[in-house]
Amino acid sequence: MKVNLSIDGEYFKNEVKDLRTKLEKCKETGILDDDFEDKLDKLLQIEKNLLIDLIPYYRTYVDDVKKTSMKVFPMKELGSFTSHGLPQSILRINKNLFIANSINSKIQFFYTDIPKNLSEEKEIVVEWSPPIKEIKEKISFIYKLNHKEILLLGAKRGYSIILSDDFDKLPDINEEIKVKRIQIDSDFKGFGITLEIGDTLFITENKKNTLTLFEIMKENGEYFLNVHTNISCIIPNWTAMEKIGKNYFVVGTKDGIIYFIKYEDGQLRILGETYIFHNIIRKINCLEDEKGNKKSIIVIGNKGQCKIFDLYEDTILESYDLKGNLFDLQSVKGTSVVLSEDGIIYLFEENFGSWHLNEEATIKDIFFTNIFKLNISKYLLIDIEGELNLLYIDRIHTPQDLWNMALYQ
């Protein structure tokens, strides 16, 4: 097997030998070359790049090292409050603080501090706030405006802004949270599923099959929404959408078609369409590789339909027939997790720039309703009781992971 590296291996070995010789000489003379530390830092960076290059080889070809696996850790609730209804969407405010929107129109904060190293013995705890009593309508979209303000869009025209001087901890909603209610002065009917597509620009469904552009604006210290009812496009039977670039997004339909749409020159333009599979598209998500790039999307639907589509080559890369109706997915830094209504959790991995299903890591007979990405190896899962769980992907992610392994047993 030929190993392709981004560095010159011989150069690296020679530089290490040269530095070692200088170190031995220093032991004799007590004099260290002025550039020794600079060369050492340079070699440490080269070593890091070398290990990064080797990671996918160890994940794919070396049998004596650990294989990628997934494990679910329940999270224990602390305090007097619990989740009031099944969380429908979650917004991450900072590392440990989140805000959740439940299906019964309750808005709550929750706080959790997930340890870096997980074990069966150490509990992962979560603490919920009571619901924000001023919010009683159905909320369709939550958006962080800045470190002190959060925007809530209502399904019936109105919107609210939650204000706090301290979003670093679980807030006391009676004393540290203020809610400012605002109405839209137009004939706009309300906000459906909403997607951010660019700086202050959003797409929302304001009536059946119609996607409309709006923007968040601020004037004299006050926010307002400028709804461009004249900038719309009609996508029959649409079901899901995902941002794939600035002012550029993709929309899926009940007929298994995806439309590529871009906002340019003051209009929403349909740039093309592609047939994906003969079934309803339930969810579309960009696949984020280990460098954070998003070059492809994953499209899922009923009856186990799953396709990976290359955004640059405009072609389907991989096709899978999985089990059950696939309904939710997330991706972060080289992994993607897909949920099936049959109680199955599927894991897709990126190695050498390509995405593939890791069948050995599949978890069965465990039912969840939503998934939310956290970081390189962790996802939040919500079960059918509305309780939070942590999905941990035990995988070689970093050069430190290689250092921590006994590679030469």
Q: Which residues pair with 307 in a beta bridge?
A: 299, 319
Question: Greatest CA separation found in the chain?
Answer: 85
Q: CA 282 to CA 265: how far, in whole Å?
A: 30
Contacts of 35 (CB under 8 A, 6+ apart): none
CA distance 151 to 130: 19
Residue 287: its pLDDT value, please?
97
Distance of alpha carbon 337 from alpha carbon 390, whole angstroms: 13
- CA-to-CA distance for 335 and 297, rounded, in angstroms? 12
Model pLDDT, residue 36: 81
pTM higher than 0.85 = yes
Q: What does the pLDDT look like over 350-399, one tens digit per residue?
A: 999 899 999 999 999 999 999 999 998 999 999 988 899 999 999 998 88
pLDDT at 79: 86
Q: Of 368, 289, 359, whose CA–CA distance to 320 is shortest?
A: 359
Q: Which residues pair with 161 in a beta bridge?
A: 151, 180
- Per-residue pLDDT at 40: 85
Q: What is the pLDDT of residue 130?
A: 94
Q: For every residue of the chain, which 3-state class applies, written as one string?
A: CCCCCCCCHHHHHHHHHHHHHHHHHHHHHCCCCCCHHHHHHHHHHHHHHHHHHHHHHHHHHCCCCCCCEEEEEEEEEECCCCCCCCEEEEEECCCCEEEEEECCCCEEEEEECCCCCCCCCCCEEEEECCCCCCCCCCEEEEEECCCCEEEEEECCCCEEEEECCCCCCCCCCCCCCEEEEECCCCCCCCCCCEEEEECCEEEEEEECCEEEEEEEEEECCEEEEEEEEEEEEECCCEEEEEEEECCEEEEEECCCEEEEEEEECCEEEEEEEEECCCCCEEEEEEEECCCCCEEEEEEEECCCEEEEEECCCCEEEEEEECCCCEEEEEEECCEEEEEECCCEEEEEEEECCEEEECHHHCECCCCEEEEEEEECCEEEEEECCCCEEEEEEECCCCHHHHHCCCCCC
Segment-wise mean pLDDT, segments of 10 residues, the chain, 409 residues: 71 83 82 82 86 85 81 92 87 95 90 83 90 89 94 84 91 92 72 92 90 91 88 96 97 98 96 96 96 94 98 95 97 96 97 94 96 94 93 91 70
What are the sequence ranges of the domains in the chain? 9-61
Q: Locate tokens 């369409």: which residue?
A: 273
Q: Are 238 and 216 in contact (CB under 8 A)?
A: no
Q: With the CA atoms of 170, 173, 177 and 179 taken in that order, what torsion angle do they form, in degrees rounded to the nearest 10? A: 130
Q: Left (φ > 0), alpha (ψ -120 to 50) or beta: where does 333 sit?
A: left
Q: Which residue, 197, 113, 138, 141, is CA-closest to 388?
A: 113
Q: How far apart are CA 295 and CA 242, in angstroms?
A: 13
Task: Count how many Cα atoms sit within 13 Å of the Cα of residue 380 in the half-sphere of its side chain.
Answer: 27
Burial 96-117 (b: 16+ CB within 10 A, else e): ebbbbbbeebbbbbbbbebeee
